[in-house]
Amino acid sequence: MTWIFGYGSIIWKPDFDYLEKKPALLRGFKRRFWQGSTDHRGVPGSPGRVVTLLPEPREQLWGMAFRLAPEVYEPVLAALDYREKNGYERHFLQVEFDDGRSVSALTYMATAENPHFLGAAPVDEMALQILRSVGPSGSNLEYLERLYQALSELGFEDAHLSELWSSVERVRSRQ
């Protein structure tokens, strides 16, 4: 088993070597900017907002699956464990390619029980938080923008992201 499924920054910044990458569909989950980031896109006391996955039987989302060479799999996972240490845990999920084939892929998920989980908020509130937050990896706005752009370039519509992006543009135009 050497597939990794990315649905957030791993899509546009995998930072590891891979043999191939393929767009992949995850059914039964939704992607939401509901996880707090105090180590990448925010700081303790002023967290940014980054994506996590929540189970939702009627929803689905597109991300990118990366196939790794067996010999790099464990070192890559060790590096990702460190990079995603702020509340994320490893999970194996079944993802589907557009040819109908499906594989089990490792993904990082931050559940509602982790201490950095922020949960839902009104969209303009989330947009303001994203506009104001900055952390060691850069601005929270850059994170949202790169994910939004990457998914748009792949031709994937994500209603939550589009709503958040529109709100960011609205709030910015008023500033």
Cα distances from 24 to residues 95, 130, 167, in angstroms, run: 6, 27, 27
- Gap between the Cα atoms of 97 and 119, Å rounded: 29
Compare residues 10 and 151 and give the one whose CB is closer to ligand BEZ: 10
SS3 content of the chain, % helix, strand, coil (to 5): 35, 35, 30
Compare residues 11 and 151 and give the one whose CB is closer to ligand BEZ: 11
Compare residues 160 and 171 and give the one whose CB is closer to ligand BEZ: 160
Report DSSP state, residue 81. H
Select which of 56, 84, 89, 145 is catalytic.
Answer: 84
Return residues touching ligand BEZ (CB under 6 A): 6-11, 84, 88, 107-108
**Minimal distance, residue 174 CB to ligand BEZ, in Å:** 30
Residue with tokens 């989330």: 126
Residue among 108, 28, 100, 103 at smallest CA distance from 60: 28
Active site residue 84: yes
Residues identified as active-site: 84
